[in-house]
Amino acid sequence: MLEGKKIIVTGCGRGMGEATFLAYVRAGAKVVGMDIDQGTGQQAADAACALVQDAATFIPVDVADADSVNSAFDEAVEWLGGELHVLAHPAAIQAASDPATVSASEWDRMFAVNVRGTMLTNQASHRHMKVGGGGSIINFGSISGQRSEPGAVAYSAAKGAVHSWTRSAAGAWGKDGVRVNAILPAIATPMYHEAMSRMNPSEETASFWMNHQSIALGQTYGDATKDLAPVMVFFASDDSGFITGQLIPVDGGQTTTR
């Protein structure tokens, strides 16, 4: 389905990024995985090459740093043979924060990775896709950017900014043949399990009513390989060629967008 596609996946070391990375290789693409964690990123690339020899490689990146992004993307496109067709950008961070006490440094770190990182990776991708006639950029938003999040105010604000950026970039870059969409997932990642493990019983109950109860398909978060990866393949493929500027929930019915 993705034969001939040249792809970059950020946050490839684990969770949704790793599942996307491996799915693209299985679908026939040539893929560069990127992550700030060189250990997990290289392990994911090794797993990808075990599936299809020489179909993948790993390049470290700090998505919040412009020089790191531009250097890594230029290196990746060179390895990909001078072309870039798809960016999948799951790389992100999440942390609790209270609107009355969130610090400037906590706020700035959340926006640096989640918002500036989206801007920088999208800009680098557009630069390469434009000269090649177009492509698909797949950002990652969240239900947190759609609703009140009193316990994670900085994360909620950052994801809301990703949603707005996605719509605006799609509107600006359509003339270049570059599509920009955002996936809003409810997927049980390592980050999700780590957050759940830190909760006490009352926090678990609150989380159920806020996050799980509204998931129509079983009141449970989805699986990255089974539930998310096929959607990522679709948005990387030409079959999604007339879709841009959209927020796409992959969440079992947890939320709706408008």
pLDDT digits (tens, 9 = 90+) for 149-191: 899 999 999 999 999 999 999 999 999 999 999 999 999 877 7
CA-CA distance, 101 to 86, in Å (whole number)? Answer: 39
Quick one: pLDDT band at residue 193, thresholds 50, 70, 90? low
Average pLDDT (14-34) is 98
The pLDDT value given to residue 257:
81
Residue 204 reports pLDDT greater than 70:
no
CA-CA distance, 205 to 238, in Å (whole number)? Answer: 42
**Domain-embedded: residue 56:** yes
Average pLDDT (201-211) is 72
**Domain-embedded: residue 213:** no
Residue 240 reports pLDDT greater than 60:
yes
- Give the residue carrying structure tokens 């947190």: 144
**Domain-embedded: residue 197:** no
**Domain-embedded: residue 252:** no
Query: Which pLDDT tens digit goes with each residue over 50-66?
Result: 999 999 999 999 999 99
The pLDDT value given to residue 189:
76
CA-CA distance, 244 to 222, in Å (whole number)? Answer: 24
Distances (CA, A) of 118 to 180, 199, 207, 218, 235: 11, 29, 27, 31, 17
Structural Rg of the chain based on CA atoms: 17
**Domain-embedded: residue 236:** yes
**Domain-embedded: residue 112:** yes
**Domain-embedded: residue 200:** no
**Domain-embedded: residue 211:** no
What are the φ/ψ torsions at residue 211 (nearest 5 degrees)?
-115, -40
Average pLDDT (42-50) is 98
The pLDDT value given to residue 196:
65
The pLDDT value given to residue 26:
98
- Would residue 155 show up in a list of annotated catalytic residues for this protein? yes
Average pLDDT (78-93) is 98
Average pLDDT over the chain reads 94
Q: Tally the domains of the chain.
A: 1
Task: Of 25, 20, 23, 17, give the one whose Cα is nearest residue 41.
Answer: 17
- Domain hosting residue 119, numbered range: 6-187+222-246
Contact 3, 11 (CB under 8 A): no
**Catalytic position from the list 24, 155, 192, 221:** 155
Give 137's strand partners: 87, 180
Residue 29 reports pLDDT greater than 90:
yes
Q: Based on the number of CB atoms within 10 Å of its own CB, is 208 exposed (0-12), middle (13-18) or buried (19 or more)?
A: exposed
Residue 38 reports pLDDT greater than 60:
yes
CATH number of the domain where residue 47 is located: 3.40.50.720
Distances (CA, A) of 178 to 173, 211, 243, 252: 5, 33, 10, 28
With a pLDDT cut of 70, the percent of the chain lying above it is: 96
Residue 232 reports pLDDT greater than 70:
yes
Strand duo 86-89 + 178-185: pairing:
unpaired
Positive or negative, the CA dihedral 156, 166, 30, 74 is negative
**Angle of the 153-173 helix axis to the 104-111 helix axis, nearest 10:** 30
Query: Which pLDDT tens digit goes with each residue over 93-135?
Result: 999 899 999 999 999 999 999 999 999 999 999 999 999 999 9
